[in-house]
Amino acid sequence: MSTMTITPQVSYRPQSAARKSSMRLTRRGRLVVFAFGVLVAFALGVWFAAGSVATQEAGVEQVEVVTVAPGETLWDIAADAVAVTGEGDVAGMVARIEQMNDLESSMLFAGQELRVPTE
């Protein structure tokens, strides 16, 4: 069996007191670097936001224009709309029709045209 020993060798190199870089940025150079960083951040923001574009399909509500017949009430129109759509109750549909048509009350006139939801 043999044994190997390694003796560390230390060498000292004198270092200069302060190394100065030969390249320095001027005020204009710092401004260019800053503007480039802002441009890159803006481009990344636009790129990430491109996938979140809104579409017309989800937000468009299907409506039907109904002409009010003599003696017909908003409750009757709402009941017909609930029967067609099959969703909600009549009172909720009355409120929805009032909101869609900017009605201040449930008073209707013969010949008046109302937008009624169909889905």
pLDDT tens digits, residue range 67-101? 999 999 999 999 998 988 887 889 998 998 999 89
- Nearest one of 119, 117, 7 to 64, comparing CA atoms: 117
Whether 95 contacts 80, CB under 8 Å: no
Element (H, E) at 13: none
Question: Distance between CA 40 and CA 32 in Å, rounded?
Answer: 12
Q: Give percent above pLDDT 70 in the chain.
A: 84
Whether 85 contacts 119, CB under 8 Å: yes
What is the domain class of 62-117 according to CATH?
alpha beta
Task: Kindly tell me if the per-residue pLDDT of 46 is higher than 60.
Answer: yes
pLDDT value for 48: 85
pLDDT, tens only, 2-19: 777 777 777 777 666 556
Determine the distance from the C-alpha atom of residue 32 to the mean position of all C-alpha atoms in its chain, rounded to a whole number: 32
